[in-house]
Structure 1
Amino acid sequence: MTPRIAKFGIGQVVKHRVYPFRGVVFDVDPVFNNTEEWWRSIPAEIRPSKDQPFYHLYAENADSQYIAYVSEQNLLPDDSGEPVRHPQISETFERTPDGRYRARGPARAS
């Protein structure tokens, strides 16, 4: 397997192509890096290829917030500008005036 360059970056807001959830990317695996059991739990007709980037998301749907692991083929950019509600986002990111998420840096002395 030859890894591809990731299409989405850390802090980018994305949405799932099929299911109604969205999230902020907080990590990227260049190829599948989860358990075989997890991968096989996906119905064969929609199971993604392992040789593509997979994204760790602080995700949300209408009912809850959670961590998601999603293949690149199932993600689209979310350009809504709406904030993502996941409670862990503020530990890792700060929201910029243009609605994006930027990794929090070390504290700076004034």
Structure 2
Amino acid sequence: MPLPLDVGVRAGMVYLVLVLAIPIQYYLSNQMSVPSTQRDANLKRLLKTFYHFKSKYLSLPSWKRWCWSWFKKAESLRTGQKFIILGKDPGKDMGETPAKDVLTYRNPEGYFAKSTEVRSYRPTDVKFRVGQVVKHKIWGYRGVIIGWDAKAHAPEEWLNKMHPPDKTRWRDMPNYSILVDTRDRGTPQSTYVPQENIEVISNYEIQHPFIWDYFDSFDGALYIMRKALRYFYPKDG
């Protein structure tokens, strides 16, 4: 009987930690003969490297994502249906996310920061970056930025409803697409928010079923973009 995904993932993580224990012990024993100042500096570099490694490879979400990617590859071989990847060259490892052509088909006008235009220029008034965790100043919900427009880009009917006459300035400032934490709003959703209505928060991980379609890991302050998303926001990385 196959193990449940969570049990198998945790078992794999424990095995990897045990495998890494011996080389780490060897490294630390060699450091005992090094001057204390140099040893402290080396240890800090080691801890920093380990933290990034842990965030990317030893976290439960990353292992789930890895297992799921292999499941999807196996499924694609069984059904003959490919999972197309996002980006300029589908032959490169840019991460499994909705294909560029699919995004264009779903949203040909590129509304709500869903445009496939590469943001090769980043205006100075764009205050926040893709991957930053933010909180809505008015409604209080938290989320992570997955895209931005230098000015609001949405259907006129939506703008008239969400950006009332006394808030016309919202149209002319940067607006951000945000994946909302499901602990704040039970139904998985994204919002489109003017810059002045959000503020950055740190040391807070967002819960959303699609978050790993956009990011590889979380370093405690910022979500690290997958290659596919970084292609469209090269100045935000």
Relative to the length of structure 1, the TM-score reads 0.80
Q: Which residue of 2 aligns with 1:55?
A: 176
Q: Letter of the 1:38 partner, please give it.
A: W
Unaligned 5+ runs, structure 1: none
Structure 1 contact 65–85 (Cα < 8 Å) conserved: no
Higher gyration radius (CA): 2
Greater share of strand:
1
- 91-100 or 63-72, which deviates more: 91-100
Deviation at 1:63, TM superposition (A): 2.6
Q: Which residue of 2 aligns with 1:82?
A: 204
Deviation at 1:43, TM superposition (A): 6.7
**Is residue 40 from structure 1 mapped to residue 160 from structure 2 by the alignment?**
yes
**Is residue 64 from structure 1 mapped to residue 184 from structure 2 by the alignment?**
no
How many residues were matched structurally? 103
Deviation at 1:69, TM superposition (A): 0.2
Q: Which residue of 1 aligns with 2:140?
A: 20
Call closer, same or farther: CA 1:73–1:96 in 2, change over 3 Å.
Answer: same
Higher RCO, Cα 8 Å, sep 6+: 1
**Percent identity (aligned):** 27
Call closer, same or farther: CA 1:23–1:102 in 2, change over 3 Å.
Answer: same
SS in 1 for 2:157: helix
**RMSD, matched Cα:** 2.1
**Is residue 10 from structure 1 mapped to residue 130 from structure 2 by the alignment?**
yes
Structure 2 contact 204–220 (Cα < 8 Å) conserved: no
